[in-house]
């Protein structure tokens, strides 16, 4: 889990990253966490942890000490306690997967993401002398509409193709925002 989180974190922190690349990295991480969130993957993880502990002379996982809640906070019934360490750590493992998935979805499925994607697509289409009106309409509807003068942006984007051809004569088709940055 940590290596996948670290990998997506490093990708997202790059100085030059396109929104398309960021969303691809996030989607790959989400898919990875969904794969990890299976009984088979947990069993494999737990077996490796037990093997590692045995090889290095470390005590095997045990259940944490049972703590009784103060009577004033008790609702009368005892909280569920797992019957073995594996079940206890399985619950923690699945919670960690759920938190990671939830945070990625929460952050990258916000209302600002489609507007940023539209901006990137508009730039690429304009650089290739293609129609970009649908992206401009999306930008006009977005939360950035008060920050961007869409009328001026349209005029500037119409000049982009010529600027790209002049500055990058060997480039036939712009496929990434990195080409024109």
Q: How confident is the model at residue 133 (pLDDT cuts 50, 70, 90)?
A: very high
The pLDDT of residue 107? 87
Task: Tell me: pLDDT of 94 over 80.
Answer: yes
Task: Tell me: pLDDT of 72 over 70.
Answer: no
pTM of this prediction?
0.72
Residue 53 and residue 102: Cα distance in Å, rounded? Answer: 31
The pLDDT of residue 4? 85
């Amino acid at each position: 889990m940590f290596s996948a989180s670290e990998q997506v974190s490093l990708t997202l922190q790059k100085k030059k990253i396109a929104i398309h690349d960021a969303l691809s990295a996030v989607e790959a991480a989400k898919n990875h966490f969904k794969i990890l969130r299976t009984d088979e993957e947990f069993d494999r993880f737990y077996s490796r942890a037990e093997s590692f502990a045995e090889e290095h002379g470390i005590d095997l996982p045990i259940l944490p000490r049972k703590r009784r809640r103060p009577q004033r906070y008790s609702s009368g019934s005892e909280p569920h306690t797992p019957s073995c360490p594996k079940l206890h750590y399985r619950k923690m493992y699945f919670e960690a997967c759920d938190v990671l998935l939830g945070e990625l979805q929460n952050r990258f499925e916000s209302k600002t993401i489609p507007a940023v994607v539209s901006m990137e697509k508009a730039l690429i289409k304009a650089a290739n002398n293609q129609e970009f009106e649908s992206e401009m309409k999306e930008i006009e509807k977005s939360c950035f509409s008060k920050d961007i003068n869409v009328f001026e942006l349209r005029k500037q984007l119409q000049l982009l193709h010529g600027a790209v051809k002049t500055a990058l004569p060997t480039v036939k088709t712009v496929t990434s925002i990195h080409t024109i940055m």
